[in-house]
Structure formats: structure tokens, C-alpha cells
Amino acid sequence: MSRLPVGRWLVWAFLSVFTVLTLFPIYWAINTSFKSPVEVYAQPPTFIPRDFTTAAYRWVLDGGKAMPAFRDSAIVSLSATVLAVTIGTLAGYAFSRFGPQVGGDRLAFWLLTTRMTPPIVAALPLFFLFQDIGLVDTYQGLILAYLAFNVPLATWMMRSFFNDVPRSYEEAAYLDGYSLFRTFYRVTLPLVMPGIVATSILVWIFSWNEFLLALVLSGREISPFPPLLPTLASGYQIQWNNITALSLFAVIPPVLIIVLFRQHLVRGLSLGAVANR
């Protein structure tokens, strides 16, 4: 920050405007969620609900569709995260240590290319494929679809975390009589724990918020919450109060997790993911 008072004021002014711009939609969502359907459309808009009501929240809690949707979201996103991070950790280790032998030098790039295709390209083909083998509208189907997108990301991230662990740590363990697997478990894995946490959070948030694949591949038997939201906007009225209440509910778990694990996340996403180095 500048030592000049003028410079400092400019920075503060910029940050204040930025903060307002960032927080306003969130404030507006909270504001709207406590309004009645009529007040939502009031002109001029009210900045504090005139008829304060918790109807929208009651709708979320026992409105029939919302809570099952959260349950489905939780099941799918947690399963996808555990599987993607497990596979990504093992694959990332293999690529980090034996990369040149198994994947060539450009492997990291190839892993990332899977993220370059928009998911919509895969969504419809996946639907037809899944229909043939009975995976549409199942937990397994959606989890599998998420894995296809998350395993490369998790692998790529874990690979770079493993790259930060010096080879000599493992070599010392081999010489001390440890096998490859025990070395991995006793030495390498504990050192990339911050990386695992960071990767898990990213993968989980992706799965929790994912909309497109959930919309295409589910909807009747199972339905995560993101595709539920647009159904509230169809028909003759957009239920903004219910939409915002549902959205705020959906935001709570990621916010809590990020607040709780922010140190891991920061360390994991910046350099030096290896503990205590």
C-alpha cells in the first residue's frame, strides 16, 4: 500500500466500491428471501422487507422438493468428491513420480485439456449413453459424470502437490526399510494433506453447484438442488423469495467449509502445500 495519504484514500475508495458491488447481490438475496411474493415485485423496491415473513424458508424446510434435493446434492457431491480425490491422489502420485514413463512430459497439459471442452458438449451424448445402460436419473450416473470432469482436475492438482515433496524424503524411507506403499502412507501422504483438503474443497464445490449435467442426467427419480431452481421460475410467476431462500441455504455449506478450512485452502492453492516447510 502506498505511503502517500492520497494513494491510500484511493485504495480505500476503490475497495469500498468493490465491496458494495460484491456484497449487494447477497444483501439483495437476503432481503428478497424475507419478503412476500407480492412485495418482491413492489415498485419502488423495498430495501428492508415491509411485511417481514419467513414463508420462503418454511417452504424450503417442508415444501416437499427442496430438502430431498439437498439430500441428493449431498449424496452425489460427497461421493463424487471422495472418489475423485482418492483416484486423483493415487494418479497424481503416479504421474508425479513416474510421469515421464507413463505419460510423457506434456501429461499435465493433457490432463487440463479435459477442462477446455464446455460440459455441454458432453452432456447430451452422455444422456444417450446413460439411457442405454440405465444410468439416467441414478446417483451412480451423476457421480460417474462428475468424476469424468473432476478426476483430471484432482489428478492435476495432486500431481503438483506431490511434485513439492522432495524425492529424498521417500528415498530416505526406502533406505530405512520401507516399501513403496508404506513410504507413501507414512511419509508422502501426510505431507500433501493440505493439498488433499484444498483439492477436496474445489472438487466438492464444483459438484455441489453443478447445474448442467444435473439438469440433463437427472430430474425425476433424483434431483440435486441446482436444476430445482429454474423450475421455480417457470409458469406464470417467478418465485423470487423461494429462489433466494433456497440459494442462501445452498450457500451455507460451502461458506462454512471455506471459513473453517481457509488456512488449508490458501496454503493448498498457493505455493508450499507441503506441511511445515
Partner 1 sequence: MQASTLQHPVPAAAAVVGPEPLIRIEGVSKRFHETIALEAVDLDIPNGEMLILLGPSGSGKTTLLRIIAGLESATEGRILLAGRDVTDLPPEQRNISMVFQDLALYPHMTAFQNIAFPLEAKRGRNKAEIRRQVEEKAAMVDIGHLLDRRIGQLSGGQRQRVALARALVREPIVFLMDEAFSSLDAILRREFRAEFKRFQRRLAVTMIHVTHDQEEAMTMGDRIVLFNRGRLVQVGSPIDLFLDPATLFVARFVGTPPMNLLRCQVTHDNGAFQMKGEEWSFPLPPPVAERIERGGKTDAALTLGIRPQHLKWRRDPWPGGSIETVVDVVEPVGTEEIVHCRLGKGEMQGLFPLRAGLREGDRAYLSFNFEHALIFDGIDDDARRLT
Q: Which residues bind partner 1 (CB under 8 A)?
A: 166, 168-169, 171-179, 182, 186-187, 190-191, 274-277
The least CB distance from residue 96 to partner 1, in Å, is: 17
The least CB distance from residue 94 to partner 1, in Å, is: 18
Task: Evaluate whether 195 touches 158 at the Cβ level (below 8 Å).
Answer: yes
Cβ nearer to partner 1, comparing 191 with 217: 191
Cβ nearer to partner 1, comparing 71 with 186: 186
Cβ nearer to partner 1, comparing 134 with 166: 166
Cβ nearer to partner 1, comparing 137 with 164: 164
The least CB distance from residue 196 to partner 1, in Å, is: 13
The least CB distance from residue 2 to partner 1, in Å, is: 35
Cβ nearer to partner 1, comparing 115 with 182: 182
The least CB distance from residue 269 to partner 1, in Å, is: 20
- Orientation angle between helical segments 240-260 and 262-269, nearest 10 degrees: 70
